[in-house]
Chains A and B, each alone.
Chain A
Amino acid sequence: MRDPELHEPFHDLARQRETDRFGMWLFLASEIMLFGGIFAASIGLRVVHPRAYVAASQALHLWLGTANTAVLLTSSLLVALAVEAAKSGRPKRVAWLFIGAALLGLAFAAIKGTEYWLEYREGLMPGLSDAAIESGAQRLFMDLYFVSTGLHAVHLTIGVVLLLTLAARALADKLEGMTASNVALYWHLVDIVWIFLFPTLYLARPA
């Protein structure tokens, strides 16, 4: 009698879906506050050391960062298309779009890793190789850079795992629409955090 998708404590499916979606938004709100602490730290750093912050920003690889922005935005597009495909009941298409987005996520991680490698070689990595770090403030900037992009990368990795899991479920035609759009919301969070990290770190340089 009961719909297999319906579970305790709900009486009807529409209400259950609304609640799942609502819970996801609340979780994302807490994620925003988590990264909010990082952004507060970067504002603090920039207020205390305005010149050094801008100078330190110039050492980052702007073009790799820009490429990564494009990669991540594209992956978000695929995820958005996948949600639409799930609504119109096309599980194969959903699966391939999710796989595409996950691959772009991995591409992002590869480019980010390349950047880290270059920064290590150039002596910009505090603690491990810091020959090129000229001032305390530049070191703080690089600390902030590694912590914030590292935390973002952790979120990205979780997102890739989720996307691949959903793709597998979609291929077996066992994917619930609300799960797909909730994971999509999470992926957009990964995206939007980057959209704020990119100008905060890379674009702080003089024009």
Chain B
Amino acid sequence: MRDPQPLSYLDAGHTLKSWFLTTDHKRIAILYLFGITFFFAVGAVAAALIRLDLLTPAPDLLTNEGYNRAFSLHGIVMVWFFLIPSIPNTFGNFLIPLMIGARDLAFPRLNLASWYIYMVAGLITLFVVISGGVDTGWTFYTPLSSVYANGHVVAALTAVLVSGFSSILTGINFIATIHKLRAPGMTWGRLPLFIWSHYATSLILVLATPVLAITLLLVAAERVLGLGIFDPRLGGDPILFQNLFWFYSHPAVYIMILPAIGVVSELVTASAHKRIFGYWFVAYCSLAIAGIGFLVWGHHMFVAGQSIYASAMFSFLSVAVAVPSAIKVYNWTATLYKGSISWDAPMLFACGFIGLFVAGGLTGLMLAMLAIDVHVTDTYFVVAHFHYIMVGGAVTAFFGALHFWWPKITGRLYPEAWGRVAAVLIFVGFNFTFFPQFMLGYEGMPRRYHVYPPEFQVLNVMSSLGASVLAVGYLLPLGYLIWSLFSGARAPANPWGATGLEWTTSSPPPPHNFVTQPIVTRPAYDYPPLSNEG
């Protein structure tokens, strides 16, 4: 070692002030990690209530109103306070500057502001929870939300609106950083695919989120001031609300899944020790998904009375968006072919992701077909489909990322055997929970009801039991990861033998990421890494 061991970002200050007023992207990522973990727990408690209540056909645990509030809370918290910020704001925040060889994000203070805005939104949500919740569902459909719903709807709308500003600022920061702060030699063609997918995600964050903001503002104004834009009694148009809402909320699905796709590209190449198959295809497919994703929102409204021609176009475009998604799956598989694969926990999570993403994607194709969609609209088939994408896909990738970059973030190695157990438990528990819901939905069980005919009970009990396995799978990492912070072995700079600039600096990295400015001379995933990288 020629250089003295640099001070790590974790040692750069131990006071509360050094954390809460930090502009270091790595520390802000940790702040976000605490925030989203907390809200994941809140959303999970709501999910547990739902699954417990659904154990029996009778309404025994929750009242009708209580059940409505439980699934509304589950949706709002999981979508806006866990899934949307999960991978971008923790791993994206931590890794984007490291991966492109920059000292920080382009606007460090804006980054901190974005966390504070997120936390303010979170506190408003907590107020909503404590004061009794809302029963609108996470979709806030009018006129239910604007006229009829009980509870603190305006506070819930405000919370989501405020969290949106946090998203927009993060998106601006990421795009500007990727454009302007790449290290010398880090051309667009040498960027890790994690960066490409976060770039695509950020475009959606910046361009779709404001539409949600104005829509929720109009709903709030309708509820408080009696504005009538969405009110049919005045000649307003409730379908207009659905158009505006899904114009954001469908692309929002890609905000959740694109970062996960980026994570999996990193995990697959590092585990196979091989260059990604078809780099440019994977990179451009992220942009294609983001672009086409803006044009498919009408597939949420096939039964809402939109014109049959519009429905046909939206159906076609929804099928089209499956093409770039499928290309990625083929490319990951082709990357594994003839690779020397290490079956560590990150690889197991990546494989779990690919399987669940394919299942979620194929059922998405079914739902994009007009005839099938009419049959299964608002049933558990839809619920199962989007949980395969958001939980099976995004959350599995989140855990994969957590294991893969844990040594880099904390400087400690986690216990590998436990990691593998968690990966398998999550995969099994997930399928056990949600596969029965495909069957329930196809047989006609509607979503958002807690009373159901007795013939659906077996599948519902399976689903609830699966959920408890899933819960163990999620709690396990919490235990052994915290244990590793104190007792795990010290991590070397590059424990996986992976390429990528983040593995060339020490674990955990110094405050300004690199001791000397890195200069990039090779393409991404140029395996095996040079000896000085490992």
Contacts and interface: CB of A to CB of B under 8 A. Distances in A.
Which A-B residue pairs are the 9 nearest by beta carbons?
Answer: A37-B214, A9-B103, A9-B104, A34-B210, A136-B235, A136-B234, A33-B210, A19-B180, A26-B172
A27 interface: yes
A9 B221 contact: no
B104 A147 contact: no
A37 B215 CA distance: 7
Interface residues of A, number: 38
B175 interface: yes
Contacts of A11: 517
Nearest to A42: B229
Contacts of A29: 206-207
Interface in B229-271: 229, 233-237, 240, 243-244
Interface stretch (B105-113, B306-314, B403-411): B105-113
Nearest to B25: A9
A31 B226 CA distance: 25
Given A22-B180, A29-B206, A140-B235, 14 more contacts: A30-B172, A37-B211, A37-B213, A37-B244, A40-B240, A40-B244, A41-B229, A44-B237, A45-B237, A126-B228, A136-B236, A140-B228, A140-B229, A147-B221
Interface string A18-40: 11001100110111011111101
B369 interface: no
B439 to A, nearest CB: 39
A33 B207 contact: yes
B108 A9 contact: yes
Contacts of B217: 147, 151
A23 B172 contact: yes
A8 interface: yes
B31 interface: no
User: Interface on chain A toward B: helix, strand, loop, or mixed SS?
Assistant: helix
Nearest to A128: B225
Interface residues of B, number: 45
Interface of A: 8-11, 15, 18-19, 22-23, 26-27, 29-31, 33-38, 40-41, 44-45, 48-49, 52, 126-127, 135-137, 139-140, 143-144, 147, 151
A9 B228 contact: no
Contact of B181 (A19, A27, A49): A19
A76 B512 CA distance: 41
21 contacts: A8-B104, A11-B517, A19-B180, A22-B180, A26-B172, A26-B206, A29-B207, A30-B210, A34-B214, A35-B214, A37-B210, A40-B240, A41-B240, A41-B244, A44-B243, A127-B226, A136-B228, A139-B228, A143-B229, A147-B227, A147-B229
A37 B221 CA distance: 15
Given A9-B97, A19-B181, A136 B233 contact: yes
B235 A137 contact: yes
Contacts of A22: 176, 179-180
Contacts of B171: 26, 30
Contacts of A33: 206-211
B383 interface: no
B168 interface: yes
B218 interface: yes
Nearest to B107: A23
Nearest to B173: A23
A144 B104 contact: no
B217 to A, nearest CB: 8
B225 A27 contact: no
B117 interface: no
A31 B213 CA distance: 10
Nearest to A39: B214
Contacts of B211: 33-34, 36-37
Contacts of A52: 235
Contacts of B107: 23
Contact of A144 (B168, B229, B233, B243): B229
B176 A23 contact: yes
B158 interface: no
A9 B176 contact: no
B283 interface: no
A158 to B, nearest CB: 14
Contacts of B229: 41, 45, 140, 143-144, 147
B331 interface: no
A126 B226 contact: yes
